[in-house]
Amino acid sequence: MILRPLEEKDTEALFELFKEEKGANWIDFPITSLQRFKGHISELLAGEFLGFAVPRVILDPVTQKIAGLILLTNIDTENQSAEMGTWLGFNYRGSGLNQQAKAEMIQYAFTELNLAKILLVTAEQNIASIKAIAKLPYTCKTRGDEYGALKKHYAFLYRKNILIYKITHEDFFAKK
């Protein structure tokens, strides 16, 4: 396992990874100051306590150092859905950790949380994210107006064109 629950003590290590990131415009974390970042981490931890988020730290399997973060957010138990996002430190990209972390988190979402689908939201211009998603055999790009309101919401929020990919329980276990 390369995932473990996020803890407050992880804040500074994550902040150091995030603040050096040149692609910070792809993430929705407040990385302008450690204090703001701490507040965001506290919100994620509260979200897990309340049942609508699952934040996990991605660990380097060799050194056990923090390599990134993966999140399930907007968990909707009634509709059996959630959104997932990942972020890896620059030095860990291309190592296979992203794909491994996603598979671990998706397995958890479908078996422990009994979800039926997970959405991956990314900016149309985020080529690295799109390539990472393409490596997952069990994802499919959503059709035209499917999730139109959600696309508009994120486009407004981030001022970027948005793509949404979907992972279903059936596809994950059939193509895994």
Long-range contacts of 21-30 (CB under 8 A, 24+ apart): 21/87, 21/89, 21/90, 22/90, 23/126, 23/128, 26/122, 26/123, 26/126, 26/129, 27/85, 27/87, 28/157, 28/158, 29/87
pLDDT for 22 equals 53
pLDDT for 145 equals 72
pLDDT for 5 equals 97
Neighbours of 16 (CB within 10 A): 12
pLDDT for 176 equals 62
Question: Pick from 97, 110, 9: which is nearest to 58 by CA?
Answer: 97
pLDDT for 21 equals 62
pTM of the model: 0.86
pLDDT for 23 equals 46
What domains, with CATH codes, occur in the chain? 3-175 (3.40.630.30)
Residue spans of the chain under pLDDT 70? 20-31, 144, 176
pLDDT for 42 equals 94
